[in-house]
Structures are given as C-alpha cells and as structure tokens.
Amino acid sequence: MSNKKILLIEDEEKIRILVKKYMEQESFEVLTAESGYQAREFLKNNNPDLILLDLMLPEMNGLDLCREIRKTSRVPIIMLTAKTQETDKILGLEMGADDYITKPFSLAELSARIRAALRRSDFGSLEKEESIIRGDLQINIERYQVKLNGKDIPLTATEFKILALLAQNPGRVYSRLQILNAALEESYGGYERSIDTHISNVRHKIEKNPAEPEYIKTVYGLGYKFDISD
Ligand code: CA
C-alpha cells in the first residue's frame, strides 16, 4: 500500500516544517501550501487523501477554502485553529470540515486524528458498495434506490441524497447548512430553508405519518437526524 498523501495548508513556516517532518516520520507523504490560492492551484491537479487546513490564512481564509473544496470533493479535512471560541469550530464543521484541532497541538495527537479521519473515510467508501438497512428501509447508494418493506420508493435525486446522508450516520445531528453542502454539492446561496421542503417531501414518501416521523426526526434549532431508536 502506498503512503497516504496529506496536503498541509498553513502560512506559518515554523508549523509547516514541524508538521511535515513529524508526519513524514509517521510514513505520510506531506505536501504543503502557504496560502489558499496556492492550495487551490495544487488541488486542480492533485487528489490528496487528507487536508490539514489552517483557519487563519491571509487573503483567502480557511473557512472559505473549506467551503470551496467541499463543492467538488469529500476528502477528509481537519481544521487547524488558534481560536478557542466554540463558534469558529462549529462554523468549520458547518463548512464541511471533518474535525478540528486547536493550536498549540501535540504532533502525536494530530497524527492520531489524521489516522482516525482516514479510517472513517476508508470505511465510508466501503459502505457505499452495499445497501444500508435501517428499520424497514433499504437504501442502495450506488443505485440511488430506496425500498420500504421491499417496495420501491420513488425519490428525487435531492431527496435521495438527503435521506442517504442522514441514514448513513444514525444519531448524528446535521444542520441545514451541512445537509445543503453535503447533499446538494453546490452552493445555493444560503437557502437553507429549502431543505425543509425536501425533508417534508421525503417524509411524505417514507413515513406512515409524516407529522410524527419514525425515521427522520427534527432536532429543533439544529437540523435533522435519522433515528429509529424510539
Ligand atoms: Ca495562520
């Protein structure tokens, strides 16, 4: 197996050198970019296995870059942030980052986080090859097919992506913006509420009583989750 390729986007030279040296000792291949623009150019011709993204970059900040990368790629992204405010972390996750680590961080911890994110991403790609079974629902990601008690349920592409996203991670709460970014794979200029309409349509097709959903639950103030535990 070839070494996993990491792209490190960080404007501080000291951190670039330290992280690169350490992760290379850990058998990763490490490529670096000093700015969002440099990273963007690099990504046109390269597909790293994971991205380490500094939040505070000059010119183009890490959040904007993260959102841009997510439009075309599901590569795992770990945010490096100097800030301790909860809002920045949540915002990072909303923009599609998989994890974050607060500076100053230990290189051993960063390495552990990288391995965990890579494992999740490998698992995600394996899972896509078969059906997900949740309660009476059977979801085939490859075929864009949903069956309820063995009966085909016709869903639009958007409805399917939303249902598949939620059902792949039962119990995990998704904000409307996360659903929008992950499921629609393009920018809708913040029309988060349009998700409510799609969710409602999915419910009318799969729920016995859409007003009291058994599969897709509303998490007030946050978003939605797939949950058949109660
Ligand atoms: Ca920085």
Question: 190 alpha carbon to ligand 1 midpoint, in Å?
Answer: 27
Q: How far is the CA of 182 from the centre of ligand 1 (A)?
A: 26
Residue 16 Cα to ligand 1 midpoint, Å, equals: 10
pTM of the model: 0.56
Mean per-residue pLDDT, 125-154: 79
pLDDT digits (tens, 9 = 90+) for 95-118: 788 888 888 899 999 999 999 888
Residue reference for tokens 């996360």:
178
The rounded Å distance from CA 11 to ligand 1 centre is 5
pLDDT of 187:
43
Query: Angle between the 86-94 and 62-72 helix axes, to the nearest 10 degrees?
Result: 20
Domains of the chain: 5-122 (3.40.50.2300), 131-226 (1.10.10.10)
pLDDT of residue 53: 96
Give the model's confidence band at 94: pLDDT under 50 very low, under 70 low, under 90 confident, else very high: confident
1-10, 22-31, 180-189: which has the minimum mean pLDDT? 180-189
Per-residue confidence (pLDDT) for residue 31, from 0 to 100? 95
Output the CA 66–ligand 1 centroid distance in Å. Answer: 14
Environment class of 199 (CB within 10 Å of its CB; exposed 0-12, middle 13-18, buried 19+): buried
Residue 108 CA to ligand 1 center (angstroms) comes to 20
Given this model, what pLDDT does residue 133 score?
Answer: 86
How much is the pLDDT for 165? Answer: 86
Q: What is the mean pLDDT of residues 119-147?
A: 76
Q: What pLDDT is stored for residue 176 in this prediction?
A: 86
Both tokens of residue 212? 């009291």
Q: Bigger pLDDT: 34 or 96? A: 34
- pLDDT score for 223: 81
Q: Whole-number mean pLDDT of the chain?
A: 85
Burial 31-43 (b: 16+ CB within 10 A, else e): ebbbbbeebeeeb
9 versus 73: the higher-pLDDT residue is: 9
Q: Rounded CA gap, 175 and 150, in Å?
A: 30
Cα(89) to ligand 1 centroid in Å equals: 15
pLDDT tier at 120, thresholds 50, 70, 90: confident
